[in-house]
Structure 1
Amino acid sequence: MKVSWKWLGQIIDLQNIEFDKLTEKLTMAGFEIEETYQLRTLQDKIIELKLTANRQDASFLIGIAREISTLLNKPLKNHYHHIKANNISRTCNHVSYQSLSDLKLNIIINIKNRHSPKWMQNYLKSHNIEGTNLLNDITEYINLKWGQDIEIFDARKIGINSISNNKIQILNNSNISQIIDEKNYSYNISPELLQYKNTILSVIGIKSNHHLKCDLNTSSIIVCGTICQSTYIQSIIKKLNIKTEKSTKHRKKILRCDFLYAYEEAIRLISTFAKGIIGKAYTYHRLPYKHKNLLVNKDDIYNILGPIKNHYNDFLSVKEILNILDQLNFRSTYNYIKQIFTIIIPEYRIHDITRPIDVIEEIGRIYGFEKFDDGLPQAINRGLTSDERQITKKVRTILRNLGMHEAIHYSLKRKNKYYQNNRNIIELYNPLSEDQTILQNSLFANLLEIQQYNINQKNFSIEAFEIGRIFIKNQISQNSINTQQNQEQICIACIMGKPNFLRSSWTDEPKELSWFHAKGILEEFFEKLHAAVAWKQFTNSDITKINQKIADLFNLKRTSTIYNPITEESIGFFGQLRHLSNYNLEHCTTYIFEIQLSGLMQTINYKNHLKYRIKPYSLYPSVTRDISIKLHNHENIDTIRQKIINQKNNLLESIEIFNEYKHNNNKRNISLRVTYRAQDRTLDDKDLTKINQEIKYILKHNIK
């Protein structure tokens, strides 16, 4: 949209306003300025604006002038924006049309269609429009100034000198091919037509009859203005498959206040420059405009806009808010008891001011968003981190310290052969591509792809882990009815193993990771988390919980289920992969585990305090005695050891098992090393003799 500085100055007083200052205000108010330049031939400056879809009320000169008037807090010279519905004369007919909200027709006879005045030609030139004749230039001028399409038809080509109301008809069963000559036009569609006698003036809201265009020989004219129902225009455009500039304006809802002003100015310009005699007008109006009230809470304004900068955290006062609303031409009142503003929106803003937040945005825009403090309030208390977040952070740290590399993948996957017959897979209804058709229901497939990629790239196979979300579809039975419920879980998965994982010494050859060593790494992970888990053999019921084709990847004899020993619920699995040639893992023993985070958290023993007793070291030497005990194979040495400890002898420091020898007669010899130490003295023979007698007594009554 182009705005002429000279013609803008005729609507609003810009004498003390700088051009650059105005463009800056428009930019800060949300209008994008694409370009500014000078027209030296017309001694004018042009501002090119780019409007948003919700501000079509500013897409013409009067509309942008209203906006500048609000920004500068200066009234328009002719008070264009103070139109009230009560001051507009109406003629309401009993007939109701589907297409029309307003219609005005006037016939003017004995006119002289000449060239337009110089000032009008200059106005059109500032918008790159060349003048042709007075009547055509007036329609272009009204369109640029008011955004309204006022149509002027040559009455001589119709053969009339005065308007008769009974000859004006709106029909929808006529052939419109003489006006609409589009190839895609369907003759089964019958939009409403404006017709006088037997001549079609226009397809209402779509296109005018170009055969009735005015020329320099025109002596009588029909001036026509319409406002159409936007719903009607949308349906007709869809059916006719055409789109015109006129239909686009009607779809954006033409305002009646602007329509009446534009029509009256068009009649005045014609009568002034073309002379002529103005006949009686034909007017149709459908429904009056209903004012829309919005209720805005004062606290909402304060909470959204915030305090004013450099005002000691003061907010906008009620008086300032009322002044801004008045500046916006919003009629408003304030209830001091309820602290609520009641606001009446003017007609030309009813399409973009529909909610209280829109009013608050306008208050901030006019006052200046840059004047409000946009800093976040100082936090008094730090936010609490969830247990899930803390455990996730701890898991990540432990696995990294164990030498693992973290991997991150998308949750969307391609449906490959491992997911073909899996009923637990959640598929997308409308995927963006073939690579994003399902949601992943496990993480270890991602780790296999990482291992395969590194081996294909001649890189070393790596130990990697991933903490991510999986999505599964569970069968839930309620009242003997099976239903499906989608479930989201956070899981931890890890892959380990390469040909040269470890070596006993520098002279030995490196060996691959063994099953017990891999299990030991996982147990160390649980120990650092203080998680008490249990292990059991992988069974057929565990296979059914995951995809059969995925289970085929594992060596089931070396696969274990990890479960909660208290609830006996499975929380994951650990297993050795087969030597898979399609993953280039035929020469490397690889291990994978996958654990549910929620199930793992239930096994963690959260220690709120340390159950340790602090005592000083003894400064006196210790005495050790070795005891050999002969037991049957079914007897447990740990039971005997614990009974010795339960004597609670202060001189007994430790008992260790250091040797075992098995006989062929289902017996064995076990050697114990008992350590004695006193805190305040050196032990003598009497102390040792007493302790030995106690131990002999225990052994005598507990060994058969």
Structure 2
Amino acid sequence: MIVSLSWLKQYIDISISPVELSECLTMAGLEVEGMEYPNNFLKDVIVAEVISTCKHINADHLMVCQVDNGAEHVQVVCGAPNVRAGAKYPLALPGATMPNNMTISRSKLRGEVSNGMLCSAKELNIGDNQSGIMELDYSYETGTSILKTMNLNEVIFELSVTPNRPDWLSVTGVAREISALLNIPFKMPEIFVNETGEDIKILTQVTNEAPELCQRYAARVIEGITIKESPKWLKERLKSVGIRSINNVVDITNFVLMELGQPLHAFDFDLLEEQRIVIKKAGNEFLFNTLDGAQHKLDPSSLMICDGNKPVAIAGIMGGENSEIHAGTTRVFLESAYFNPPDIRKISKQTGIRTESSYRFERGVDPDCVVFALNRAACLISELAGGRIAKGVIDCYPEPIQQSVIKLSTSSVNKMLGLKLSSKDIRGYLQALGMYIDTGEDSDILLVTPPNFRQDIKRSVDLIEEVARMHGYDKIPVTFPTTEVIASPQYQHQELREKSHQSMVSLGFMEIINYSFISRDSIANLGLSPDSELIKAVEIKNPLSEDQSIMRTTLIPGILNTMRGNLNHKNLNLSLFEIGKVFIPTSNELPDEREMLIALITGKRTNLSWMGKNDPVDFFDIKGVLETLFEQMSLPSPELKENNNITYLSNSQNAAILINGKAVGEIGMISKKVKAAFDLKQDAFIFQLDLAKLMPFALSIPTFKHIFKFPAVERDIAIVVDEHVKWSEVLFAIKNIRISILEKIELFDIFRDAEKVGQGRKSMAINFLFRSEIKTLNDNEVNKSINKIIQTLSKVINAILRV
């Protein structure tokens, strides 16, 4: 939106500087994007009096003038025929830059020195007369700048209007805002309609067949007009806002559009068939030629302004060629309306036509200004084009648009803004903006009715924002809201996840994060059995690539791919872990999401050192990590049970992880087949846990144990068992005896020798730690427990005591 300072001053008396006005508007939400001084070059053009003239000796059409510039007499060469002694003219001094970017300098013309240039109105861009230099009023003080003397110090403001404030899309709208901000009187243009023509009802009629799209339509008829050039003041006003002059009638409709924000359209009344208007939808697709000479295909739902036979305008957008004002027009049908904003926006987008009218209609004009703007334009047409205004106004307004009453609490205003405004202060701010205020039953409540030009005011918070703008955002104290932050309790699964993460990091493992999308080949490479639930996966409908075509059902492919990538970069000693979700399809629409923890070790147990052997990691390293993890997470000690159904683990080194007999995961060495499928060059050991299955066993608070008061007693025994007997079977058998004083059991040696222990047999050396919480144990009590253990092992696993 462009508006000039001189135009604003037609409606309000502005006493502050343009810069101060710019800051005031910007702080109130109407941002001034730029300020332009179009006549600033006139500061170097002064009032000068010609003292004497004589003909140039070397040129018949030039005059040599002696000129008083207020400081001294200087010589100026002039070619204007109307220059004479005793008159005052504008003198452009050396250094002045003219509108055509020509810089005036001291020069010689045919041998005579010229100290500047006497100018015509056209050369100064303040008039069209270029037949001679511009003669000034003799009362003007010699030597003063014509910028000040002739009051030409114009300022153009470029405003950024937000979409919710269509009332700012007019000069009076901006003036009204300034009036409220500066608390100065605002006056609308005075109108006196002199109706001297026939009754309008005899001349024409209007039929509105689409009242839901055109809520108000008003019209006047002016007869006996003369189409001609607009007067200088009108052209200057339009020029200041970037609109070119066309003719007096069209210029008046554009002037009222910019002045009041109400679009108007003038039809040649004699080109309207049957001299009447019908507002209706197009009904079918057709081509329509608009004023700009373009042809547009219109949708059947497009709202059209028609005469008795044909469309003559696209409602709210642009008129047609078939009814435009031309040089021979003598009668005008003048239209002013309120159209449904969304419909105008839709038609504008469909046709690709953006006009000053559509820009305002699609945001919403003031329905109360429809007739006022119509009368304003009719008066100006009568004044500038002659003619007779027909008696009466056609005003189709079946359902007047009314704003709702909004309740506003003084206390709520102060609470939200952090101020201490009185009800009188708030009332004053809102009334300055044109709002009607009534007092409710409670003195704290104001009943506010916004004017129709403020369609953006719908709720009490909108009114509070207006109060803030009027009071001044810069006057609102900067405070921080008082809030009570209450941390929500951490859920058990979150706590378990965090504990497991911290434990793995403390054990020296590096966390990795892989995509939840994997390839189907990576699942196939695990060699799973056909009935495994891990084979069925959720498929991605629009995968980025084949490598990300399904949702993962296990974390194993991801960690093995990470291992391969590190090995390829010669990073050979790895301790990795990942905590993430897997997605198992179900009969329901959504898959079962399970949070898993996986850990992997590979490479050497320690870095290369002169201090000891550099052995590779093995099953017992990953087992030790698992046991430490369980201890740090306050979980019961894990039980390992061989499970040859885990296809991706080695048959000789694999186990299911149990707690109290319930499976919670698996542990072991990656099988050779899987290792080859993933192109792994060295052995890898992993364990994978289902965190949800660990939750029932997790202790949120670690329990405290007293320091032992009584000493422990140790015993070592060696038993001979069959080769196929596993340590887990031995341990399970001993624990099932439930000896209360047995505190710890450890296997510390395995011995094989066919001569000493027998063919297909092995010896296991076991250490037992006994302790009582109430007394010191004696040998008899310990020996009884040892004998009981030997007897049980003999029965359960056919073990014999090795002597």
Q: TM-score range by the shorter chain?
A: 0.7 to 0.9
Q: Is 1:425 paired with 2:535?
A: no
SS of the aligned residue for 2:241 comes to coil
* Residues in 2 aligned to 1:200 and 1:503: alpha-carbon distance in whole angstroms: 90
TM-score normalised over the length of structure 1:
0.73
How much does 1:643 deviate?
6.7
Q: Could you list the per-position Cα deviations for residues 591-615 of structure 1 after superposition, in whole angstroms to 9, with x for gaps in the alignment?
A: 3444444443432223366232487
Query: Counterpart in 2 of 1:153?
Result: 267
CA contact (8 A) 2:410 2:426 kept: no
* Residues in 1 aligned to 2:623 and 2:454: alpha-carbon distance in whole angstroms: 71
Matches within 5 A, 1:630-649: 642=739
1:590 alignment partner AA: A
Give the direction of change, closer, same or farther, for the CA distance of 1:212–1:466 in structure 2 (3 Å limit).
Answer: same
Q: Is 1:141 paired with 2:141?
A: no
Query: Counterpart in 2 of 1:27?
Result: 26
CA contact (8 A) 2:742 2:769 kept: no
* Residues in 2 aligned to 1:249 and 1:262: alpha-carbon distance in whole angstroms: 14
* Residues in 2 aligned to 1:14 and 1:409: alpha-carbon distance in whole angstroms: 67
Query: Counterpart in 2 of 1:6?
Result: 6
SS of the aligned residue for 2:155 comes to strand
CA contact (8 A) 1:13 1:77 kept: no
1:291 alignment partner AA: Q
SS of the aligned residue for 1:62 comes to helix
How much does 1:697 deviate?
7.8
Matches within 5 A, 1:552-567: 554-555=649-650, 558-562=653-657, 565=660
Query: Counterpart in 2 of 1:610?
Result: 704
Tell me whether 127-136 or 579-588 shows the greater mean CA deviation. 579-588
* Residues in 2 aligned to 1:286 and 1:414: alpha-carbon distance in whole angstroms: 65
Give the direction of change, closer, same or farther, for the CA distance of 1:233–1:131 in structure 2 (3 Å limit).
Answer: closer
1:577 alignment partner AA: I
The structure number with the bigger radius of gyration is 2
Q: Could you list the per-position Cα deviations for residues 400-440 of structure 1 after superposition, in whole angstroms to 9, with x for gaps in the alignment?
A: 222222334565x3665457996552746x78999987666
CA contact (8 A) 1:37 1:47 kept: yes
CA contact (8 A) 1:469 1:489 kept: yes
* Residues in 1 aligned to 2:769 and 2:691: alpha-carbon distance in whole angstroms: 44
CA contact (8 A) 1:296 1:342 kept: yes
Q: Is 1:185 paired with 2:290?
A: no
Query: Counterpart in 2 of 1:114?
Result: 228
* Residues in 2 aligned to 1:23 and 1:149: alpha-carbon distance in whole angstroms: 27
Query: Counterpart in 2 of 1:683?
Result: none
CA contact (8 A) 2:289 2:296 kept: no
Q: Could you list the per-position Cα deviations for residues 61-82 of structure 1 after superposition, in whole angstroms to 9, with x for gaps in the alignment?
A: 23333333444444522399xx
SS of the aligned residue for 2:252 comes to helix
Give the direction of change, closer, same or farther, for the CA distance of 1:196–1:472 in structure 2 (3 Å limit).
Answer: same
* Residues in 1 aligned to 2:465 and 2:374: alpha-carbon distance in whole angstroms: 33
Matches within 5 A, 1:286-305: 286-295=398-407, 301=413, 305=416
SS of the aligned residue for 1:44 comes to coil
Tell me whether 488-497 or 113-122 shows the greater mean CA deviation. 488-497
Tell me whether 200-209 or 377-386 shows the greater mean CA deviation. 377-386
Please give the root-mean-square deviation of Cα atoms over the aligned residues, in Å.
5.0
2:263 alignment partner AA: D
Q: Could you list the per-position Cα deviations for residues 445-501 of structure 1 after superposition, in whole angstroms to 9, with x for gaps in the alignment?
A: 4434433433444545643333445555533xxxxxxx334555554343332x334
* Residues in 2 aligned to 1:193 and 1:639: alpha-carbon distance in whole angstroms: 94
CA contact (8 A) 1:444 1:495 kept: no
CA contact (8 A) 1:554 1:577 kept: yes
Q: Could you list the per-position Cα deviations for residues 159-217 of structure 1 after superposition, in whole angstroms to 9, with x for gaps in the alignment?
A: 99xx6xxx44446469964535867726x837554344556432333431224333444
* Residues in 1 aligned to 2:651 and 2:749: alpha-carbon distance in whole angstroms: 35
Task: Choose from 574, 577, 580 the match for 2:670.
Answer: 577
Give the direction of change, closer, same or farther, for the CA distance of 1:660–1:452 in structure 2 (3 Å limit).
Answer: closer
Matches within 5 A, 1:452-471: 452-460=564-572, 462-469=574-581
Matches within 5 A, 1:215-614: 215-230=326-341, 232-233=343-344, 236=347, 241-245=351-355, 246-280=357-391, 281-295=393-407, 301=413, 305=416, 307-308=418-419, 316-332=421-437, 342-350=447-455, 352-369=456-473, 371-377=476-482, 387-408=492-513, 413=517, 417-418=521-522, 424-425=537-538, 427=540, 442-460=554-572, 462-469=574-581, 473-475=585-587, 483-486=588-591, 488=593, 490-497=595-602, 499-502=603-606, 506=610, 510-532=614-636, 534-535=638-639, 554-555=649-650, 558-562=653-657, 565=660, 568=662, 571-578=664-671, 585-607=679-701, 610-613=704-707
CA contact (8 A) 1:419 1:425 kept: no
Give the direction of change, closer, same or farther, for the CA distance of 1:584–1:29 in structure 2 (3 Å limit).
Answer: farther
How much does 1:139 deviate?
1.9
SS of the aligned residue for 1:465 comes to strand
Q: Could you list the per-position Cα deviations for residues 616-662 of structure 1 after superposition, in whole angstroms to 9, with x for gaps in the alignment?
A: xx9xxx9x99978898979988899957789xxxxxxx999999999
* Residues in 2 aligned to 1:306 and 1:607: alpha-carbon distance in whole angstroms: 47
SS of the aligned residue for 2:369 comes to helix
Q: Percent identity?
A: 24
1:152 alignment partner AA: A
CA contact (8 A) 1:640 1:699 kept: no
Give the direction of change, closer, same or farther, for the CA distance of 1:202–1:446 in structure 2 (3 Å limit).
Answer: same
* Residues in 2 aligned to 1:431 and 1:629: alpha-carbon distance in whole angstroms: 61
How much does 1:37 deviate?
2.3
SS of the aligned residue for 1:35 comes to strand
How much does 1:144 deviate?
1.9
Query: Counterpart in 1 of 2:104?
Result: none
* Residues in 2 aligned to 1:640 and 1:537: alpha-carbon distance in whole angstroms: 19
Query: Counterpart in 2 of 1:97?
Result: 210
Give the direction of change, closer, same or farther, for the CA distance of 1:159–1:670 in structure 2 (3 Å limit).
Answer: closer
CA contact (8 A) 1:306 1:373 kept: no
CA contact (8 A) 2:166 2:360 kept: no
CA contact (8 A) 1:628 1:671 kept: yes
SS of the aligned residue for 2:25 comes to helix
SS of the aligned residue for 1:292 comes to coil
SS of the aligned residue for 2:172 comes to helix
Give the direction of change, closer, same or farther, for the CA distance of 1:404–1:159 in structure 2 (3 Å limit).
Answer: closer
Tell me whether 91-100 or 122-131 shows the greater mean CA deviation. 91-100
SS of the aligned residue for 2:234 comes to helix
Give the direction of change, closer, same or farther, for the CA distance of 1:698–1:399 in structure 2 (3 Å limit).
Answer: closer
CA contact (8 A) 1:124 1:141 kept: yes
How much does 1:39 deviate?
1.6
Query: Counterpart in 1 of 2:146?
Result: none
CA contact (8 A) 1:96 1:286 kept: no
Give the direction of change, closer, same or farther, for the CA distance of 1:632–1:25 in structure 2 (3 Å limit).
Answer: same
CA contact (8 A) 2:585 2:592 kept: yes
Give the direction of change, closer, same or farther, for the CA distance of 1:559–1:136 in structure 2 (3 Å limit).
Answer: farther
* Residues in 1 aligned to 2:624 and 2:268: alpha-carbon distance in whole angstroms: 98
Matches within 5 A, 1:650-661: none
CA contact (8 A) 1:100 1:229 kept: yes
1:55 alignment partner AA: R
How much does 1:278 deviate?
0.4
* Residues in 2 aligned to 1:401 and 1:22: alpha-carbon distance in whole angstroms: 65
SS of the aligned residue for 1:290 comes to coil
2:382 alignment partner AA: S
CA contact (8 A) 2:11 2:189 kept: no
The alignment covers a number of residue pairs equal to: 635
CA contact (8 A) 2:277 2:307 kept: yes
Task: Choose from 173, 178, 188 the match for 1:63.
Answer: 173
Give the direction of change, closer, same or farther, for the CA distance of 1:696–1:520 in structure 2 (3 Å limit).
Answer: closer
Give the direction of change, closer, same or farther, for the CA distance of 1:40–1:629 in structure 2 (3 Å limit).
Answer: closer
CA contact (8 A) 2:266 2:333 kept: yes
1:13 alignment partner AA: D
2:210 alignment partner AA: Y
Query: Counterpart in 2 of 1:312?
Result: none
CA contact (8 A) 2:770 2:782 kept: no
Give the direction of change, closer, same or farther, for the CA distance of 1:494–1:275 in structure 2 (3 Å limit).
Answer: farther
